[in-house]
Amino acid sequence: MAEAERIIGTPDIPEAEHGADGGGQDAESDRQPRGKRKIAVLFGVALVAYALDLVSKMIVVAKLEHHEPIDVVGDLLRFNAIRNAGAAFGMGEAYTIIFTVIAAGVIVVIARLARKLYSLPWAIALGLLLGGALGNLTDRIFRSPGVFKGAVVDFIAPKGFAVFNLADSAIVCGGILIVLLSFRGLDPDGTVHKD
C-alpha cells in the first residue's frame, strides 16, 4: 500500500489520517523528517524575504532619503523614499502601535502553525508572510519616532499607486498564495479536502 501511494503521489499526510493502526513509532519517525523539511523551508524563505527587505531599506535610508526620486522605468516606476507611520496606503497613522501588535500576532500564529506544516506551498506562503511581517515590525520597533511607534520605510512607487516596500510585497504574495491554496483545498498539513 505504501509503495502504491508513493508511485501515485499521495500528498504528505500523517499516518493517522490514512487510518493506519499499527504504525506507532514507525509512523512517527516517517512523519518527522517531512515536517522538519517544510519548517526549514518556511524559515529559509522568511530569512531571505527579511534580509532583502532589511538591506533594501538600509540602502534607501543611506542613499535616497532626503534626495530626489529616481526614475527606474520612465515615470511608470520610481524609487521615492518616504516614512509611513500608518498601514497600507498611509491610512491609520494614529494607530501605529496597533499595527505593531497585529504584526507580532501574525508572527506568533505562523510560528504555532509551523508545527503542523507538511505542505511545501504552504511553507513558502507562510515564509513570505513571516519575512514581510518581521521586516515591517523591525521598522516599527527600531525606527523613529520611537519604540513601537516607528515609521516604516517605503520606496517602491509605481505611477498612480501607493508607495510600498519589499516586506509589503512579500506579505501580498504570501497572502495571494494562501488564497489560491485554500481554493484548491490544500491544507497546511498536506491534506487535500473537497468542499
Range of the domain at 151: 38-87+102-184
Residue 5 contacts residue 190 (beta carbons within 8 Å): no
12 included as an active-site residue: no
CB atoms within 10 A of CB 139: 23
Note the pLDDT of residue 15.
41
Note the pLDDT of residue 19.
41
Note the pLDDT of residue 34.
52
Q: Which of 154, 187, 189, 195 is catalytic?
A: 154
Q: Is residue 151 part of a domain?
A: yes
By percentage, how much of the chain surpasses pLDDT 70? 75
Q: Is residue 79 part of a domain?
A: yes
Q: Is residue 142 part of a domain?
A: yes
> Could you read off the pLDDT of 69-85 as tens digits, one per residue?
999 998 899 999 999 87
Where does the pLDDT of residue 174 fall: very low under 50, low under 70, confident under 90, or very high at 90 and above?
very high
3/96 Cα distance (integer angstroms) = 54
Q: Is residue 189 part of a domain?
A: no
pTM of the model: 0.76
154 included as an active-site residue: yes
Q: Is residue 74 part of a domain?
A: yes
Q: Lowest mean pLDDT of 23-27, 111-115, 161-165, name the range.
A: 23-27
163/148 Cα distance (integer angstroms) = 21
Q: Is residue 115 part of a domain?
A: yes
Q: Is residue 2 part of a domain?
A: no
Counting the structural domains of the chain, the total is 1
Of 70 and 12, the one with more pLDDT:
70
Query: Is residue 20 classed exposed, middle or buried when 0-12, 13-18 and 19+ CB atoms within 10 A define those classes?
Result: middle
Q: Which of 12, 21, 26, 168 is catalytic?
A: 168
Is residue 66's pLDDT more than 50? Answer: yes
Q: Is residue 32 part of a domain?
A: no
